[in-house]
């Protein structure tokens, strides 16, 4: 579980701004769901034979005897919220949320126990058009972030009926190779053999490569859905590869599944994963409602932004206020407040804790501010304050106190200072 320090926050805020703006452009609205839910919700939605439910959940009993779990992902909570707040009733919802998720995994580069996701969900839309639009949103995000080393992998899981047939074929195949399976996979062989395809054990790779593929078992409707999605993506100019073994880590998906992966992140290469989950809401007790969504791993995208060097730096203040003298110092506090009132969003940093003019000028310079405002008892006596541009060689000029906000504004314009 990591601390995100001020030096790193620029890339986080950049991603939040860019993706927040895009989600608005595509008609998504934010909702915020709790970080804790009943354990049962995750067992029923994510599935018993998944890494998450088998070994990654932070589960505890509260003093009332309820079994609660820190959310490992947000889709289940959003589906629960849509049901329990009566938002469904045939409505079409485009929702997003962002925040921390918790999984007790082995920590390594790109894999943490508290990590953060954007979770984006379109509920009540059955067609492949919304799948295509969600994927286009992802493609536009990479473009806006200036992140190039990502590519899209697609697959279709078909309906649950088609998967049941496939499941039989997989079971037969893996049973014939049972001795080669690891303990996790052997357990999943009976419970959910599809999960074996999602195994991260390199020793199983060759065996998995040889397994029957789901594509051969797709039902006709899913086939058409997938073909239509591909046509739309081609029309949008979004490129992809199809990986018939992409099954995703959670049980609730049906039909379209996709993953944006990067070759710039080492082993933890998935940055954004999603798919259609038409059965989830009815499985949780809501009226049958088709839905599709994705979860984006913020830490991994932040790392891509860092590599691309496209993050905004933290913003320096526009003005640094220097004051020295028994009368000047309290008066400077007032002037700083006056400037914050007149120039919202610009950043006015007050020198706190005194110091010689020389020390204060050094701090002003280090702050990255555009202008220094200088107040001593002598200036104050004459009703004046001094101003000095800090980003170029320039002398200081005086300004009558009542003119200060207007003069600062004018000088910032002359210095071509922008607050963003
Ligand atoms: P992985 O295959 O990497 O374990 P997953 O299939 O468990 O991923 P999802 O549950 O689909 O991942 O989560 C969506 C995204 O959240 C992933 O693509 C990844 O970017 C990010 N993510 C998942 N688990 C972690 C983690 N422990 N630490 C950091 N990011 C994570
Ligand atoms: Mg995982």
If you classify domain 319-411 with CATH, what class do you get? alpha beta
Vertex 340, ends 336 and 342: CA angle to 5°? Answer: 115
Give the pLDDT of residue 420: 56
Closest residue by CA, ligand 1 atom 19: 297
Interval 206-235: pLDDT, tens: 999 999 998 899 999 999 999 999 999 999
Helix 128-145 and helix 220-236: axis angle, to 10°? 30
Å from CA of 102 to ligand 1 middle: 11
The model's pTM: 0.88
d(CA 70, CA 75): 13
Is 121:53 a contact under the CB 8 Å cutoff?
no
Å from CA of 270 to ligand 1 middle: 7
Vertex 248, ends 230 and 221: CA angle to 5°? Answer: 40
Please give the radius of gyration of the chain, using alpha carbons only, rounded to the nearest integer: 28
Is 146:308 a contact under the CB 8 Å cutoff?
yes
Count CB atoms within 10 A of the CB of residue 289: 25
Residue 353, Ramachandran bin (φ over 0: left; ψ between -120 and 50: alpha; else beta): left
pLDDT by residue for the chain (420 residues), tens only, comes to 999 998 899 999 999 999 999 999 999 999 999 999 999 999 999 988 888 998 999 999 999 999 999 999 999 999 999 999 999 988 899 999 999 999 999 999 999 999 999 999 999 999 899 999 999 999 999 999 999 999 999 999 998 888 888 889 999 999 999 999 999 899 889 888 888 988 889 999 999 999 999 889 999 999 999 999 999 999 999 999 999 888 876 777 889 999 999 999 999 999 999 999 999 999 999 999 999 999 999 999 999 999 998 886 678 999 999 999 999 999 999 999 999 999 999 999 999 999 999 999 999 999 999 999 999 999 999 999 999 999 999 999 999 999 999 999 999 999 999 865
Query: What is the residue whose two structure tokens read 């496939």?
Result: 166
Pocket test for ligand 1, best of 295, 298, 303 (most atoms within 8 A of CB): 295
Give the pLDDT of residue 160: 81
Is 322:373 a contact under the CB 8 Å cutoff?
yes
- Ligand 1 atom closest to Cα of 268? 3
Closest residue by CA, ligand 1 atom 11: 273
**Which DSSP letter does residue 315 get?**
P
CATH 3.30.930.10 residue ranges in the chain? 9-158+218-308
Sign of CA dihedral 325, 328, 334, 336: negative
Residue 93 φ then ψ, to 5°? -120, 135
- Ligand 1 neighbours, Cβ below 6 Å, are 73, 103, 105, 110-112, 115, 117, 249, 268, 270-273, 295, 297, 299-300
d(CA 8, CA 11): 6
Residue 416, Ramachandran bin (φ over 0: left; ψ between -120 and 50: alpha; else beta): left
For residue 115, how far is the Cα from the chain centroid?
A: 10
d(CA 13, CA 98): 12
Interval 314-357: pLDDT, tens: 789 999 999 999 999 999 999 999 999 999 999 999 999 999 99
Vertex 336, ends 335 and 341: CA angle to 5°? Answer: 95
d(CA 81, CA 75): 10
d(CA 402, CA 329): 18
**Which DSSP letter does residue 286 get?**
S
The arrangement of strands across the sheet holding 59-61 comes to 36-38, 67-70, 59-61
User: Which residues does 74 contact at the CB level (< 8 Å), separation at least 6?
Assistant: 33, 97, 99, 101, 117, 119, 295
The continuous run of DSSP H or E covering 14 comes out as helix 6-25
Å from CA of 111 to ligand 2 middle: 9
Give the pLDDT of residue 3: 97
Which superfamily is assigned to 9-158+218-308 in CATH?
Bira Bifunctional Protein; Domain 2 (3.30.930.10)
CATH 3.40.50.800 residue ranges in the chain? 319-411
CA distances from 194 to 11, 43, 180, 206 (A): 37, 17, 16, 16
């Amino acid at each position: 579980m990591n601390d995100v320090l001020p030096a790193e926050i620029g890339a986080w805020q950049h991603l939040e701004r860019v993706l927040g703006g895009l989600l608005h452009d595509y008609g998504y609205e934010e909702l915020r769901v709790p970080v804790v839910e009943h354990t049962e919700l995750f067992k029923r939605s994510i599935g018993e034979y998944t890494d998450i439910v088998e070994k990654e959940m932070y589960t505890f009993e509260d003093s009332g005897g309820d079994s609660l779990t820190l959310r490992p992902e947000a889709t289940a909570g959003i589906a629960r919220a849509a049901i329990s707040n009566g938002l469904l009733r045939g409505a079409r919802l485009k929702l997003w949320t962002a925040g921390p998720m918790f999984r007790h995994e082995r920590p390594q580069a790109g894999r943490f126990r508290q990590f953060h996701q954007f979770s984006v969900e379109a509920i009540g839309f059955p067609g492949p058009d919304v799948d295509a639009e969600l994927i286009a949103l992802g493609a536009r995000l990479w473009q806006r972030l200036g992140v190039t080393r990502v590519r899209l992998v697609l697959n279709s899981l078909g309906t649950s009926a088609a998967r049941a047939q496939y499941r039989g074929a997989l079971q037969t195949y893996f049973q014939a190779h049972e001795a080669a399976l690891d303990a996790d996979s052997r357990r999943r062989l009976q419970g959910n053999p599809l999960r074996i395809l999602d195994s991260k054990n390199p020793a199983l790779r060759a065996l998995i490569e040889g397994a029957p593929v789901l594509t051969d078992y797709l039902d006709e409707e899913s086939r058409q859905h997938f073909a239509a999605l591909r046509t739309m993506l081609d029309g949008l100019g979004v490129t992809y590869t199809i990986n018939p073994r992409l099954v995703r880590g959670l049980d609730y998906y049906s039909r379209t599944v996709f993953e944006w992966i990067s070759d710039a992140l080492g082993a933890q290469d998935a940055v954004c994963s999603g798919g259609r989950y038409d059965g989830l809401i009815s499985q949780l007790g809501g009226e049958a409602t088709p839905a599709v969504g994705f979860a984006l791993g913020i830490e991994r995208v932040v790392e891509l932004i860092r590599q691309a060097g496209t993050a905004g730096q933290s913003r320096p203040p526009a003005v640094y206020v220097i004051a020295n003298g028994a009368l000047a110092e309290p008066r400077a506090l007032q002037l700083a407040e006056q400037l914050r009132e007149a120039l919202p969003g610009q950043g006015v940093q007050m020198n706190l804790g005194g110091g010689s003019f020389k020390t204060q000028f050094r701090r002003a310079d280090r702050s990255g501010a555009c202008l220094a405002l200088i107040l001593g008892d002598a200036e104050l006596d004459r009703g004046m304050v001094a101003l000095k541009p800090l980003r170029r060689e320039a002398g200081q000029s005086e300004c009558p106190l009542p003119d200060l906000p207007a003069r600062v504004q004018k000088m910032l314009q002359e210095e071509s200072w922008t607050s963003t």
